[in-house]
Copies of this chain bind each other. A is one copy, B any other.
Amino acid sequence: MTENMLRQRTAARRDAVIREVLDRAWALMARDGVAALSVRELARDLGVRQQSLIYYFPSKQALLDALFADGFGQLQPRLAAAGSAAASPVDRLVATVTELLGYCTAHPARYHLMLQRTVPGFTPSQASHQIALDTLAILLERLADAGVTDPADADISRGLINGLAAEQVANDPGGDRFTRQAPRALRALLAGLATTSKE
């Protein structure tokens, strides 16, 4: 067994541990809220000492940043694949938005950390922020394909999408009162924007 093979094995094990830590962190956040996550409690939940986690994540900031990047790393391929069999660009946009809203409402804690971004002292690193921008780019591309090329109109559309997610998570958690309106809301907005002058 060469030294290189050993290094691969230990690296793989390290990745597996990190994966488990992130999964447990998501679970705790889902249960108690994003702001309630403490490294101590996470460690207790994992059966180790708080200090041992520092070996993997040197600070709480680093842990939150890893979670942020992890969330977008999961969301991005889902958005990219959404509506691949759609009959029209608008249908594909609707499918993409439905996928996004499904993710947000199924995982309110992720929505809070990744998109709402009101977690106490947290700001994503530049690298993690880039992953978020790349993911947002998918949505903007689908919007453009559906005819929303004006940046102002894209901002409006983003607002509607984010707003449906926000209302859903805040005022009907676990339900679909707001998100189920997304297809009609989007089609109506697109139609309205196309016929409403910019005064």
Contact = CB atoms under 8 A, between A and B. Distances in A.
Contact of A159 (B35, B115, B181): B181
Given A163-B163, A164-B163, A192-B191, A155 B181 contact: yes
Contacts of A120: 33, 35-36
Interface in A84-116: 112, 115-116
Contacts of A188: 156, 189, 192-193, 195-196
A62 interface: no
B155 A159 contact: no
B163 A181 contact: no
A30 interface: no
Nearest to A188: B192
A129 to B, nearest CB: 12
A152 interface: yes
A138 interface: no
Contacts of A121: 36
A170 interface: yes
Copies of this chain in the oligomer: 2
A189 B56 CA distance: 48
A185 B159 contact: yes
Given A160-B160, A167-B155, A187 B181 contact: no
Given A156-B188, A192-B187, A166 B166 contact: yes
27 contacts: A33-B120, A35-B120, A112-B118, A115-B170, A116-B170, A117-B170, A155-B167, A156-B160, A156-B178, A156-B184, A156-B185, A158-B163, A158-B167, A159-B160, A159-B163, A159-B164, A159-B181, A160-B160, A162-B166, A162-B167, A163-B163, A163-B165, A184-B198, A188-B193, A192-B192, A192-B193, A192-B195
Interface of A: 33-36, 112, 115-121, 152, 155-156, 158-167, 170, 177-178, 181, 183-185, 187-193, 195-196, 198-199
